[in-house]
């Protein structure tokens, strides 16, 4: 099935995001507040993770195994990433909009973050790990990459305790729309 990629990107550019409902039907959602990962000095992580980073056990890749990251993110007891949404992510990837930011331990996928990049905005859709610390290292390395590439917004959509440890914070929808519109004016590339 072919999807209207331009319309999907337009939806994300307006601040909406896709999720499957309980019957696997896809719907557009928005939120009164959004969770952002700071790209400035507010970004932080635990000292124990600093030791893992210093050991350099994990290598980092972008789009080395996009489908495996999507499957890893969807592989949960309850998931909002339906088979149809997986297909949409694949088409977004093929069109150059969706990315997987991955950590590897040798030839084994350790963890990853799935997201969509539009202008200077990176919209994080989901993350997972197979090896402890895999997704946390991916988060640190992704923030470093977004900073290097002059991205201005890292949207994590919804808060959770894991994201709070990295300095994630909430903004209301009005502030989010302002930041998103500023980010959309930028010309950034993850690769």
Per DSSP, what are the bridge partners of residue 61?
102
Q: What is the pTM of this model?
A: 0.94
Task: Provide the pLDDT confidence category of residue 109 given band limits of 50, 70 and 90.
Answer: very high
**Cα–Cα distance for residue pair 130/170, rounded to 1 Å:** 28
Q: Please enumerate in sequence order all residues whose Cβ is within 8 A of that of 36, keeping only pairs 6 or more positions apart, or say none.
A: 153, 154, 155, 156, 168, 169, 170, 171, 176, 179
Task: Express each pLDDT in 6-42 by its tens digit.
Answer: 999 999 999 999 999 888 889 999 989 999 999 999 9
Q: How many CA atoms lie within 13 A of 88 on its CB side?
A: 23
Given a contact cutoff of 8 angstroms between Cβ atoms, the answer to whether 20 and 87 are in contact is no
- Domains in the chain, CATH or no CATH each: 5-184 (3.40.630.70)
Task: Determine the pLDDT at residue 89.
Answer: 98
Nearest to 166 by CA among 50, 44, 66: 44
Helices marked H in the chain — which ranges? 5-13, 47-55, 66-74, 83-94, 134-148, 161-164, 173-184
Task: Determine the pLDDT at residue 79.
Answer: 85
Task: Express each pLDDT in 32-69 by its tens digit.
Answer: 999 999 999 999 998 889 999 999 999 999 999 999 99
Task: Express each pLDDT in 127-157 by its tens digit.
Answer: 999 999 999 999 999 999 999 999 999 999 9
Task: Express each pLDDT in 55-106 by its tens digit.
Answer: 999 999 999 999 999 999 999 888 889 999 999 999 999 999 999 999 999 9
What is the edge-to-edge ordering of all strands in the sheet holding 153-157? Answer: 59-62, 98-105, 108-118, 121-129, 153-157, 33-36, 169-172
- The 8-class DSSP code of residue 106 comes to T
Using alpha carbons, list the distances in angstroms from residue 184 to 78, 86, 165: 32, 24, 27
């Amino acid at each position: 099935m072919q999807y209207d990629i331009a319309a999907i990107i337009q939806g994300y550019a307006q601040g909406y995001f896709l999720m499957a409902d309980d019957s696997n039907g896809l719907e557009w959602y928005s939120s009164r507040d959004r969770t952002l990962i700071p790209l400035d000095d507010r970004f932080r992580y635990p000292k124990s993770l600093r030791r893992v980073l210093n050991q350099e056990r994990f290598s980092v890749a972008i789009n080395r195994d996009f489908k495996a990251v999507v499957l890893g993110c969807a592989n949960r007891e309850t998931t909002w990433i339906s088979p149809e949404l997986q297909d949409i992510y694949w088409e977004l990837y093929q069109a150059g909009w969706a990315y997987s930011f991955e950590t590897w331990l040798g030839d084994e996928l350790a963890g990853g973050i799935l997201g969509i990049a539009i202008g200077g905005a990176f919209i994080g859709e989901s993350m997972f790990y197979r090896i402890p610390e895999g997704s946390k290292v991916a988060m640190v390395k992704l923030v470093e990459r977004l900073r290097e590439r002059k991205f201005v917004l890292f949207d994590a959509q919804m808060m959770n305790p894991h994201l709070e440890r990295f300095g994630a914070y909430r903004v209301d929808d009005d502030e989010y729309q302002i930041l998103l519109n500023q980010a959309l004016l930028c010309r950034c590339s993850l690769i």
